[in-house]
Amino acid sequence: MKRLTLIAAALACAPAAQAAPLVDVYAGGYLWNPDTSGNIASGSGDIDMEDDLGFDDADQSVLYLGVEHAVPILPNVRLRYMDLDDDGSNTLVNPITFDGQTFTGRVSASYDLEMLDGTFYWSPLDNVVKLDVGLTVRQMDADFKIRGAGQEASQSASETFPMGFLAARVNLPLTGVYVGGEVNAIEYDGSGMRDYNAHIGWRSDFLLGVELGYSRLEVELDDVSDLDTDLEIGGPYLAATLRF
């Protein structure tokens, strides 16, 4: 919640920031409708998010705010907040063990992935074709819970990921239409984080725009706070955008 408040406060300050010469401020938000697949583990044995815990798809929320300027040596900056959470339930065919507890029969489960990105990037190309290259620092807090027959087990992990950032966009002249995509990625010591999206959007002459795309997040944790994950969360999104 503190991270969401930070983004909201930054959005409120956006018009003032735009008053500075040669500074562009952009912002957006969207509901994301991803499918959740993969597995988690805490102890022995992988637990399948779909087959064992009954996760399917759910609406998730994303907010972002960026500032671009004309000083070549200094990076542009974007903040992005992602709050991904879902609940699932299922009747187990085989027992599962999580955090030292064994579950049988009917179980319910939930997860919460909260991520705050700070992306620092340069734009070596910025015309009809725009190319952004830089670094994303992502703070992720993850919580997983499983409940059943009077039992409850939970595990949490907190991790900071430095990630390579690459984005490209093609602007179609005189139409306000653009197509593009971006990638954030890191791999180290058996853990990794990757997310990417592809999108098409339209920006009007009156600040507002819309964007339709597909986004995918992959989270691999190897014994981070006794938690292992191999998760894939992906689906379409529809965003409202604003540029000052």
More confident residue, 70 or 167: 167
The topology under which CATH files domain 2-243 is: Lipocalin (2.40.128)
- The yes-or-no verdict on residue 18 having pLDDT over 60 is no
Q: What is the pTM for the complete model shown?
A: 0.88
Percentage of the chain modeled with pLDDT above 90: 67
Q: pLDDT value at position 4?
A: 47
User: Residue 27: CB partners within 8 Å, gap ≥ 6?
Assistant: 11, 14, 63, 64, 65, 66, 241, 242, 243
- The yes-or-no verdict on residue 13 having pLDDT over 80 is no
Beta bridge partners, 41, equal 228
Percentage of the chain modeled with pLDDT above 70: 91
